[in-house]
């Protein structure tokens, strides 16, 4: 019997406040032209004062549950990917659990920065395939605006806030020749690259929250190589080629990275789901936010081959391949 995890619902939440490139140009020495040309970003959402990562996550999770047509009572696992938790502890996932009224099962956070959603998905998929959970909420939620150095033009223009969530449910596809659900996951990390992308604070180092620091061009180079190589790995593991991909839903860090990855794989740019123009880089939230758009506007259809991939601080990178 083949037990697989199928996506049965999706939701998102974006803070109301839109911040344009022109607005940022009043704050730091930058321009709408530079930001659009170098990154593809036009605007981003920024959380209101007092609006926390858990608030974003709860909203997205409620919408995902209602799109799946289930209630919190049906959920037995929450895996929340974030690098910007409400507090050092407890896990932001437990706040989501309490707000949803879910009292059974387990809820915890995982931290792989921009690759967080892929890590969370892989963990939830393992729980489901092993029978330890049947219905999981997988959430990516971030308030990166809280860890940006708003004086540093090389980073503050790149990020935004938001949350996306999916419902993942176990299905026994024993008689299908082409079973639906997650077909494979591929995770990597290489901690030697810490200094390329990190936050210069934390409870056990400085006892402060710190600010994001990034060697942009160095990260760019690794991102293009790692994203293309993990995609190749996911395709090879499933005896597929780039031609089999219906939709690529990548982490949204830079439009030029997405274009280069598509070029490397000879994948048509129309098959790449892009939201970076409106959301900027929302770290662990970017993939479920992009998924939400491609599901709700009807691009992603049942049985489509959908590949998600990401690369982030650490470095961490990974991919998941799904027959939708
Ligand atoms: O999500 C996690 C993974 N993150 C990523 O994948 C991000 C990867 N990196 C990138 O996306 C790009 O490297 C950036 C968008 C961060 C930077 O673009 P770049 O084309 O690599 O620019 P650069 O850092 O090489 O800077 C080029 C020039 C520099 O000026 P000089 O030295 O040539 O005079 C920068 O000082 O652009 C300048 N610059 C800016 N100018 C206007 C840097 N930031 C800005 C800015 N506005 N905001």
Q: Of ligand 1's atoms, which has the minimum distance to the CA of residue 286?
A: 1
Interval 272-294: pLDDT, tens: 999 999 999 999 999 999 999 99
Distance CA 275, CA 47 (A): 18
Interval 193-202: pLDDT, tens: 999 999 999 9
Mean pLDDT of the chain: 97
Look at residues 307, 161, 302, 165 and name the one whose alpha carbon lies nearest to residue 230: 307
Q: Which domains does the chain have, with CATH numbers?
A: 4-171 (3.40.47.10), 181-323 (3.40.47.10)
Closest residue (by CA) to atom 1 of ligand 1?
Answer: 253
Q: Of ligand 1's atoms, which has the minimum distance to the CA of residue 217?
A: 13
Does ligand 1 lie within 6 Å of residue 40's CB atom? no
Does ligand 1 lie within 6 Å of residue 232's CB atom? no
Closest residue (by CA) to atom 48 of ligand 1?
Answer: 153
119, 125, 126, 131 alpha-carbon torsion, rounded to 10°: 150
Does ligand 1 lie within 6 Å of residue 38's CB atom? yes
Q: How much is the pLDDT for 174?
A: 66
Give 173's pLDDT tier (boundaries 50, 70, 90).
confident
Does ligand 1 lie within 6 Å of residue 153's CB atom? yes
Structure tokens of 149?
């150095």
Residue 316 alpha carbon to ligand 1 centre in Å: 21
- 288 and 117 in contact (C-beta within 8 Å)? yes
Active-site residue list: 114, 251, 281
Q: In what order do the strands lie in the sheet with 316-323?
A: 181-189, 316-323, 305-312, 247-250
Residue 235: is its pLDDT beyond 70? yes
pTM over 0.85: yes
Does ligand 1 lie within 6 Å of residue 284's CB atom? no
């Amino acid at each position: 019997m083949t037990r697989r995890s199928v996506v049965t619902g999706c939701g998102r939440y974006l803070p109301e406040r839109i911040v344009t490139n022109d607005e940022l140009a009043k704050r730091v020495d930058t321009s709408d032209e530079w930001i659009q040309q170098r990154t593809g970003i036009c605007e981003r959402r920024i959380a209101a004062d007092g609006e926390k990562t858990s608030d974003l996550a709860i909203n997205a999770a409620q919408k995902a549950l209602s799109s799946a047509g289930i209630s919190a009572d049906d959920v037995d696992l929450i895996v929340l990917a974030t690098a910007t938790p409400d507090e050092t502890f407890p896990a932001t996932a437990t706040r989501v659990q309490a707000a949803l009224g879910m009292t059974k099962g387990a809820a915890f956070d995982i931290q792989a920065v921009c690759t967080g959603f892929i890590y969370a998905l892989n963990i939830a998929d393992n729980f489901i395939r092993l029978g330890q959970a049947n219905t999981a909420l997988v959430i990516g939620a971030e308030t990166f605006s809280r860890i940006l150095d708003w004086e540093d033009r090389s980073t503050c223009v790149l990020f935004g806030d938001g949350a996306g969530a999916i419902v993942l449910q176990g299905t026994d596809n024993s008689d299908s020749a082409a079973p639906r659900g997650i077909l494979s996951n591929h995770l990597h990390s290489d901690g030697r690259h810490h200094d390329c992308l990190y936050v210069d604070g934390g409870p056990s180092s400085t006892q402060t929250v710190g600010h994001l620091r990034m060697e942009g061009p160095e990260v760019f180079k690794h991102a293009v190589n790692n994203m293309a190589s993990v995609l190749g790995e996911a395709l090879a593991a499933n005896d597929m080629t780039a031609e089999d991909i219906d939709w690529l839903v990548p982490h949204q860090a830079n439009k030029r990275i997405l274009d280069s990855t598509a070029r490397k794989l000879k994948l048509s740019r129309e098959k790449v789901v892009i939201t970076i123009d409106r959301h900027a880089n929302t770290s662990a939230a970017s993939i479920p936010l992009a998924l939400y758009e491609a599901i709700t506007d009807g691009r992603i259809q049942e049985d489509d081959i959908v590949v998600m991939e990401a690369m982030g601080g650490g470095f961490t990178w990974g991919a998941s391949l799904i027959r939708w």
